[in-house]
């Protein structure tokens, strides 16, 4: 078996999915009890939703292209198992979390396009697009896009009430006047100005 493993390990083929395990302490008969479930797990590992381990070790550690990781995952599912399926909502949320954690806000626009393709009647696509506008500072467009999401079907934890709240929050942010800092002499440190008490 060791020789077979060494020979197969030298094969460079993207279509070959291979894994070798040693079950120490297992007998000739009991090794089947370990190997069959383990083999099934490996065969269908690509099909599984994004796990916490996959998120922490393979996704959030990427320098960029989190959306690309998601699309590749589902391309592998289609090629490996011959089935085309919509991207799971939990997988969208995992990529959203990676984008937020790494402040790669531009990727929300790509995530929105994929969401609209997978769930055209749901608010997920517009929600992700609104997140793009919100995180890149365009609060007016964010408010408008959250309102567009309000008119669509709820999905997962995304609700109409949530979209209204987010739209109102963005409108409130956009309505606030920008504060003009007071000029201070160059030789004095900048401090928070305090109001003098009127006599």
Residue 198 has pLDDT above 70, yes or no: no
Tell me the pLDDT tens digit for each residue of 76-129: 999 988 889 999 999 999 999 999 999 999 999 999 999 999 999 999 999 999
pLDDT tens for each residue of 121-162: 999 999 999 999 999 999 999 999 999 999 999 999 999 999
Q: Specify the length of the chain in residues.
A: 199
Alpha-carbon span 135 to 23, nearest angstrom: 49
CATH class of 49-175: mainly alpha
User: What is the predicted pLDDT for the residue at 199?
Assistant: 43
Q: How many CB atoms lie within 10 A of CB 134?
A: 21
Average pLDDT along the chain: 84
**Domain chopping of the chain, boundaries:** 49-175
In 27-54, which positions are buried (b, 16+ CB within 10 angstroms) versus exposed (e)? eeeeeeeeeeeeeeeeeeeeeeebeeeb
Q: What is the pTM of this model?
A: 0.72
Position 1 scores a pLDDT of 62
- Say how many C-beta atoms besides its own lie within 10 A of residue 146's C-beta: 27
């Amino acid at each position: 078996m060791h020789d077979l493993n060494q020979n197969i390990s030298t094969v460079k083929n993207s279509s070959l999915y291979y894994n070798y395990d040693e079950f120490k302490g297992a007998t000739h008969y009991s090794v089947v009890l370990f190997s069959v479930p383990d083999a099934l797990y490996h065969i269908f590992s690509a099909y599984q939703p994004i796990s916490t381990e996959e998120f922490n070790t393979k996704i959030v550690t990427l320098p960029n292209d989190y959306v690309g990781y998601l699309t590749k995952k589902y391309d592998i599912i289609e090629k490996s198992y011959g089935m085309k399926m919509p991207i799971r909502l939990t997988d969208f949320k995992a990529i959203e979390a990676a984008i937020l954690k790494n402040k790669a806000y531009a990727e929300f626009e790509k995530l929105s396009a994929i969401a609209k393709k997978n769930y055209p009647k749901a608010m997920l696509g517009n929600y992700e697009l609104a997140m793009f506008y919100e995180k890149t500072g365009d609060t007016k467009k964010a408010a408008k896009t959250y309102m567009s999401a309000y008119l669509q079907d709820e999905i997962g934890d995304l609700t109409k009430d949530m979209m209204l709240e987010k739209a109102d929050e963005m409108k409130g942010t956009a309505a606030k006047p920008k504060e003009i800092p007071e000029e201070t002499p160059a030789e004095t440190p900048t401090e928070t100005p305090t109001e003098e008490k009127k006599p």
